[in-house]
């Protein structure tokens, strides 16, 4: 049995005017945590995370896994959407991750992810941890760690990267990245927010991070070694959503997968 992880963090989005600040730190923090738990970790940061490189790295990691192996992929960066061209989306939109070269090579669509995440052997555990996208209205939670003057939404509107002649008539609605990833065939998805919300790029004690990543790793340190993914997400929800960070972390997968030991 092997444990492998890919940690992607993209702050730099050339040509969009929408750079982020906490995603590279997120990737490093996830990588350190996973390495300490016995994972062989690859990091992909900023210019390394092109569309082609992301597809290649994810594809090799997933297709190369064998029964009993565990694969964890973390993504911190923008989410977006574009008009559906294949007719498989009820809302007429393909949800997507945003690679570094999105303005020249386009987004990494949920259709692409579906192809990648269904190409694995039986008995392989795949966990996706997505700290990107979406806005909500619930007000509760502990904000004592949060620096003032923050945060920023991790959502890249189509008009920031898509040619004008391809833009849909309305671009007001946020992408539904959560459902896009959930239907891609992964065994378990941990997401920073509901599909009607944003995940937030912010700063804690002077250091940039994604809100979901920060609280996920903060709570993980306090939980027993045999904590399940379900109990982990419950602990994260003691912090999120809050007044300044209106995002509700989500866990999607089978009942069995939710009971796996977190990052085991």
| pTM confidence score | 0.83
Q: How far is CA 6 from CA 36, 63, 150, in A?
A: 14, 14, 28
Given pLDDT bands bounded at 50, 70 and 90, which one contains residue 150? low
Rounded to whole angstroms, how far apart are CA atoms 155 and 198? 7
Please state, as a whole number, how many other Cβ atoms lie within 10 Å of the Cβ of residue 136: 16
Rounded to whole angstroms, how far apart are CA atoms 51 and 100? 7
Tell me: the pLDDT tens digits for 112-139? 888 888 888 999 999 999 998 632 222 2
Tell me: the pLDDT tens digits for 169-214? 554 444 444 444 454 545 888 989 887 788 899 999 999 999 999 9
Catalytic one among 7, 23, 78, 100? 78
* Mean pLDDT on 35-47: 98
Rounded to whole angstroms, how far apart are CA atoms 61 and 56? 9
CA angle 145, 151, 157 (to 5 degrees): 150
pLDDT score at 139: 25
Catalytic one among 7, 23, 98, 133? 133
Of residues 197 and 140, more confidence is placed in: 197
pLDDT at 56 over 70: yes
Q: Which two tokens stand for residue 97?
A: 């991750």
pLDDT score at 99: 96
Rounded to whole angstroms, how far apart are CA atoms 152 and 20? 8
In sequence order, the 6+-apart residues with CB closer than 8 A to the CB of 166 are 82, 83
Rank 152-156, 164-168, 237-241 by mean pLDDT and report only the highest.
Answer: 237-241
- Report the candidate in 121, 97, 116, 120 with the shortest Cα–Cα distance to residue 107: 97
Domains and CATH numbers, the chain: 3-258 (3.40.50.1460)
Residue 185 region by backbone torsions, left for phi larger than 0, else alpha for psi between -120 and 50, else beta: left
pLDDT score at 188: 87
For the chain, the average pLDDT equals: 83
Whether 78 is a known active-site residue: answer: yes
Tell me: the pLDDT tens digits for 66-92? 999 999 999 999 988 776 555 444 445
Given pLDDT bands bounded at 50, 70 and 90, which one contains residue 218? very high
Which residue in this structure is represented by tokens 């702050």? Answer: 11
Of residues 253 and 56, more confidence is placed in: 56
Residues 175 and 81: beta-carbon distance below 8 Å: yes
Q: How far is CA 92 from CA 9, 81, 138, 152, in A?
A: 28, 10, 28, 27
Whether 98 is a known active-site residue: answer: no
- What is the separation of C-alpha 83 from the centre of its chain, rounded to a whole number of angstroms? 21
Strands 152-153 and 40-45: unpaired
Of residues 259 and 150, more confidence is placed in: 259
């Amino acid at each position: 049995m092997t444990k492998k992880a890919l940690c992607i963090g993209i702050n730099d989005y050339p040509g969009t005017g929408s750079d982020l600040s906490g995603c590279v730190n997120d990737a490093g923090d996830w990588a350190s945590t996973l390495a300490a738990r016995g994972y062989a970790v690859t990091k992909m940061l900023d210019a390394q995370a092109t569309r082609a490189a992301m597809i290649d790295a994810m594809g090799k990691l997933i297709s190369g896994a064998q029964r009993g192996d565990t694969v964890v992929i973390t993504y911190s960066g923008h989410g977006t959407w574009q008009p559906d061209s294949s007719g498989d989306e009820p809302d007429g939109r393909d949800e997507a991750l945003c690679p570094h070269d999105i303005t020249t090579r386009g987004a990494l669509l949920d259709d692409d992810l579906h192809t990648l995440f269904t190409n694995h052997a039986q008995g392989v555990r795949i966990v996706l941890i997505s700290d990107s996208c979406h806005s909500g209205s619930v007000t509760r939670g502990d904000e004592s760690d949060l620096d003032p003057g923050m945060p920023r939404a991790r959502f890249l509107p189509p008009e920031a990267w898509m040619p004008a002649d391809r833009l849909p008539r309305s671009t007001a609605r946020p992408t539904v990245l959560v459902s896009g990833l959930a239907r891609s065939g992964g065994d378990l998805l941990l997401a920073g927010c509901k599909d009607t919300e944003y995940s937030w790029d912010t700063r804690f004690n002077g250091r940039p991070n994604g809100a979901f990543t920060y609280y996920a790793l903060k709570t993980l340190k306090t939980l027993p070694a045999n904590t399940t993914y379900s109990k982990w997400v419950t602990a994260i929800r003691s912090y999120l959503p809050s007044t300044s960070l209106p995002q509700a972390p989500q866990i999607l997968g089978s009942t069995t997968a939710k009971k796996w030991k977190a990052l085991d």
